[in-house]
Protein backbone atom coordinates (compact mmCIF):
# COMPACT_ATOMS: atom_id res chain seq x y z
CA UNK A 1 0.00 0.00 0.00
CA UNK A 2 1.36 3.40 -0.99
CA UNK A 3 2.38 5.53 2.00
CA UNK A 4 2.25 9.30 1.67
CA UNK A 5 4.70 11.49 3.62
CA UNK A 6 3.67 14.30 5.92
CA UNK A 7 4.85 17.88 6.39
CA UNK A 8 4.94 17.69 10.19
CA UNK A 9 8.72 18.10 10.37
CA UNK A 10 8.72 21.08 8.01
CA UNK A 11 5.89 22.69 9.96
CA UNK A 12 7.78 22.22 13.22
CA UNK A 13 10.73 24.21 11.88
CA UNK A 14 8.41 26.86 10.45
CA UNK A 15 6.84 27.30 13.88
CA UNK A 16 10.35 27.80 15.27
CA UNK A 17 10.93 30.69 12.86
CA UNK A 18 12.83 28.86 10.11
CA UNK A 19 11.92 30.37 6.74
CA UNK A 20 13.53 27.97 4.29
CA UNK A 21 13.61 24.19 4.80
CA UNK A 22 15.15 22.03 2.06
CA UNK A 23 14.53 18.35 1.47
CA UNK A 24 17.38 16.34 -0.09
CA UNK A 25 17.67 12.79 -1.43
CA UNK A 26 19.86 10.81 -3.79
CA UNK A 27 19.45 8.20 -6.51
CA UNK A 28 21.95 5.83 -8.05
CA UNK A 29 24.18 4.58 -5.24
CA UNK A 30 23.68 0.93 -6.14
CA UNK A 31 24.09 0.71 -9.95
CA UNK A 32 27.36 -0.35 -11.57
CA UNK A 33 27.05 2.28 -14.32
CA UNK A 34 26.16 5.95 -14.56
CA UNK A 35 26.28 8.81 -12.07
CA UNK A 36 25.04 9.17 -8.54
CA UNK A 37 22.51 11.99 -8.39
CA UNK A 38 21.14 14.20 -5.62
CA UNK A 39 18.28 16.68 -5.63
CA UNK A 40 17.31 19.44 -3.24
CA UNK A 41 13.93 21.17 -3.07
CA UNK A 42 12.46 24.05 -1.06
CA UNK A 43 8.74 24.78 -0.82
CA UNK A 44 7.36 28.17 0.20
CA UNK A 45 6.10 28.26 3.77
CA UNK A 46 2.53 28.92 2.57
CA UNK A 47 2.74 25.76 0.46
CA UNK A 48 3.80 23.78 3.53
CA UNK A 49 1.27 25.42 5.85
CA UNK A 50 -1.63 24.93 3.42
CA UNK A 51 -0.65 21.78 1.61
CA UNK A 52 -3.49 20.69 -0.63
CA UNK A 53 -4.48 19.88 -4.15
CA UNK A 54 -2.83 17.71 -6.75
CA UNK A 55 0.58 17.61 -5.08
CA UNK A 56 -0.78 15.92 -1.93
CA UNK A 57 -1.94 12.83 -3.78
CA UNK A 58 1.17 12.66 -5.96
CA UNK A 59 4.30 12.97 -3.83
CA UNK A 60 5.67 9.90 -2.09
CA UNK A 61 8.87 7.86 -2.13
CA UNK A 62 9.92 7.64 -5.79
CA UNK A 63 10.19 3.85 -5.54
CA UNK A 64 6.43 3.70 -4.92
CA UNK A 65 5.56 5.59 -8.09
CA UNK A 66 5.37 3.68 -11.40
CA UNK A 67 8.03 4.86 -13.83
CA UNK A 68 5.45 6.00 -16.37
CA UNK A 69 4.01 8.41 -13.78
CA UNK A 70 7.19 9.83 -12.25
CA UNK A 71 7.77 12.44 -14.94
CA UNK A 72 4.32 13.97 -14.41
CA UNK A 73 4.83 14.03 -10.64
CA UNK A 74 8.26 15.63 -11.07
CA UNK A 75 6.66 18.36 -13.20
CA UNK A 76 4.11 19.06 -10.44
CA UNK A 77 6.91 19.34 -7.88
CA UNK A 78 8.90 21.75 -10.04
CA UNK A 79 5.84 23.93 -10.61
CA UNK A 80 5.03 23.94 -6.89
CA UNK A 81 8.55 24.42 -5.49
CA UNK A 82 10.06 27.73 -4.48
CA UNK A 83 13.48 26.43 -5.53
CA UNK A 84 15.06 23.13 -6.59
CA UNK A 85 18.34 21.81 -7.95
CA UNK A 86 19.92 18.57 -9.12
CA UNK A 87 23.58 17.47 -9.09
CA UNK A 88 25.23 14.52 -10.83
CA UNK A 89 28.57 12.97 -9.89
CA UNK A 90 30.15 10.93 -12.67
CA UNK A 91 31.29 7.34 -12.55
CA UNK A 92 34.91 8.53 -12.89
CA UNK A 93 34.63 10.56 -9.71
CA UNK A 94 32.87 7.67 -7.98
CA UNK A 95 35.84 5.46 -8.86
CA UNK A 96 38.26 8.10 -7.58
CA UNK A 97 36.69 8.92 -4.21
CA UNK A 98 34.32 5.94 -3.60
CA UNK A 99 30.54 5.87 -3.72
CA UNK A 100 29.95 7.14 -0.18
CA UNK A 101 32.07 10.26 -0.69
CA UNK A 102 30.62 10.75 -4.17
CA UNK A 103 27.11 10.62 -2.73
CA UNK A 104 28.00 13.17 -0.07
CA UNK A 105 29.49 15.38 -2.80
CA UNK A 106 26.30 15.11 -4.88
CA UNK A 107 24.22 16.07 -1.85
CA UNK A 108 26.48 19.03 -1.06
CA UNK A 109 26.45 20.29 -4.66
CA UNK A 110 22.67 20.00 -4.89
CA UNK A 111 22.27 22.10 -1.75
CA UNK A 112 24.88 24.65 -2.84
CA UNK A 113 23.21 24.98 -6.25
CA UNK A 114 19.96 26.23 -4.74
CA UNK A 115 19.40 29.92 -5.38
CA UNK A 116 17.93 30.23 -1.89
CA UNK A 117 20.17 29.14 0.97
CA UNK A 118 18.18 26.87 3.29
CA UNK A 119 18.42 27.37 7.04
CA UNK A 120 17.67 23.69 7.69
CA UNK A 121 18.32 20.72 5.42
CA UNK A 122 16.34 17.49 5.83
CA UNK A 123 18.28 14.58 4.35
CA UNK A 124 17.34 10.97 3.80
CA UNK A 125 19.77 8.55 5.43
CA UNK A 126 22.95 9.39 7.29
CA UNK A 127 24.53 12.52 5.84
CA UNK A 128 25.02 14.59 8.96
CA UNK A 129 27.54 17.39 9.41
CA UNK A 130 27.70 18.76 5.88
CA UNK A 131 29.83 21.86 5.89
CA UNK A 132 28.03 25.21 6.34
CA UNK A 133 24.56 23.69 6.72
CA UNK A 134 22.32 22.68 9.60
CA UNK A 135 21.35 19.14 8.65
CA UNK A 136 18.82 16.71 10.05
CA UNK A 137 19.16 13.11 8.84
CA UNK A 138 16.03 10.97 8.82
CA UNK A 139 16.12 7.23 8.20
CA UNK A 140 13.41 6.40 5.66
CA UNK A 141 12.97 10.12 5.15
CA UNK A 142 11.90 9.58 1.55
CA UNK A 143 8.93 7.62 2.89
CA UNK A 144 7.96 9.88 5.81
CA UNK A 145 8.99 13.49 5.04
CA UNK A 146 7.29 15.43 2.24
CA UNK A 147 10.25 17.55 1.10
CA UNK A 148 12.60 14.56 1.05
CA UNK A 149 10.08 12.49 -0.92
CA UNK A 150 9.81 15.33 -3.45
CA UNK A 151 13.60 15.45 -3.74
CA UNK A 152 13.72 11.67 -4.25
CA UNK A 153 11.43 12.01 -7.25
CA UNK A 154 13.48 14.81 -8.80
CA UNK A 155 16.72 12.85 -8.29
CA UNK A 156 15.28 9.65 -9.73
CA UNK A 157 13.68 11.20 -12.80
CA UNK A 158 16.74 13.32 -13.56
CA UNK A 159 19.10 10.36 -13.33
CA UNK A 160 16.76 8.14 -15.36
CA UNK A 161 16.71 10.75 -18.12
CA UNK A 162 20.51 10.58 -18.29
CA UNK A 163 20.41 6.79 -18.47
CA UNK A 164 17.96 6.92 -21.38
CA UNK A 165 20.47 9.11 -23.19
CA UNK A 166 23.32 6.74 -22.36
CA UNK A 167 21.26 3.89 -23.79
CA UNK A 168 21.43 5.63 -27.16
CA UNK A 169 25.11 6.52 -26.76
CA UNK A 170 26.11 2.99 -25.72
CA UNK A 171 23.61 0.58 -27.28
CA UNK A 172 23.53 -3.03 -26.19
CA UNK A 173 23.78 -2.44 -22.44
CA UNK A 174 20.02 -1.80 -22.04
CA UNK A 175 20.56 1.26 -19.83
CA UNK A 176 17.03 2.41 -20.71
CA UNK A 177 15.70 -0.65 -18.89
CA UNK A 178 18.22 -1.38 -16.13
CA UNK A 179 19.29 2.24 -15.36
CA UNK A 180 22.78 0.90 -14.67
CA UNK A 181 21.76 -1.78 -12.17
CA UNK A 182 23.37 -5.18 -12.66
CA UNK A 183 20.57 -7.29 -14.09
CA UNK A 184 21.31 -10.65 -15.72
CA UNK A 185 20.85 -9.05 -19.15
CA UNK A 186 23.21 -6.21 -18.22
CA UNK A 187 25.84 -8.63 -16.91
CA UNK A 188 25.70 -10.65 -20.12
CA UNK A 189 26.17 -7.46 -22.14
CA UNK A 190 29.31 -6.63 -20.13
CA UNK A 191 30.66 -10.13 -20.74
CA UNK A 192 30.08 -9.78 -24.47
CA UNK A 193 31.06 -6.13 -24.98
CA UNK A 194 33.30 -5.25 -22.05
CA UNK A 195 32.82 -2.14 -19.95
CA UNK A 196 31.36 1.05 -21.40
CA UNK A 197 32.81 4.48 -20.60
CA UNK A 198 30.13 5.01 -17.92
CA UNK A 199 30.70 1.80 -15.95
CA UNK A 200 32.05 2.09 -12.41
CA UNK A 201 35.28 0.14 -12.51
CA UNK A 202 35.69 0.26 -8.71
CA UNK A 203 32.54 -1.82 -8.22
CA UNK A 204 32.94 -5.57 -7.88
CA UNK A 205 31.39 -7.31 -10.90
CA UNK A 206 31.87 -11.07 -11.12
CA UNK A 207 32.36 -11.79 -14.80
Q: Taking residues 94-111, what's their average pLDDT? A: 95
What pLDDT, on a 0 to 100 scale, did the predictor assign at position 53? 47
The total number of structural domains that make up the chain: 1
**Per-residue pLDDT at 63 exceeds 90:** no
Q: What is the CATH number of the domain that holds 93?
A: 3.30.420.10
Poorest-pLDDT segment among 9-13, 107-111, 123-127, 155-159: 123-127
Convert the pLDDT of each residue in 118-165 to its tens digit: 999 999 887 656 777 889 999 999 899 999 999 999 999 999 999 999
Which pLDDT score, from 0 to 100, does residue 55 have? 58
In a domain, 161, yes or no: yes
**What pLDDT digit, counting tens, does each position of 43-57 carry?**
988 877 776 544 555
Q: Which residues partner with 33 through β-bridges?
A: 199
- In the predicted structure, residue 1 carries a pLDDT above the cut 60: no
Question: What's residue 157's pLDDT?
Answer: 97
Does 203 reside within a domain? no
In a domain, 34, yes or no: yes
Domain range holding 78? 8-193
Prediction pTM value: 0.92
Whether 159 maps to a domain, the answer reads yes
The enclosing H or E element of 81 equals: none
CB count, 10 Å around CB of 57? 12
Task: List the beta strands (DSSP E) in 14-148.
Answer: 21-27, 36-42, 83-89, 120-124, 135-138
Residues 24, 122 contacting (CB under 8 angstroms): yes
Look at residue 76 and tell me if it is in a domain: yes
What per-residue confidence (pLDDT) applies to 2? 62
User: Distance between CA atoms of 56 and 188, rounded to whole angstroms?
Assistant: 42
Amino acid sequence: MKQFPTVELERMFLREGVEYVAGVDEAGRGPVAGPVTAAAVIFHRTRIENLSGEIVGSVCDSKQIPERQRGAVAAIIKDSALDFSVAHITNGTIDSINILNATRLAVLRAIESLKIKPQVVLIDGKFLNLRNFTCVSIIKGDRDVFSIAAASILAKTSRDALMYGYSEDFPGYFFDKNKGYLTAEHLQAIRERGFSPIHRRSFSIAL
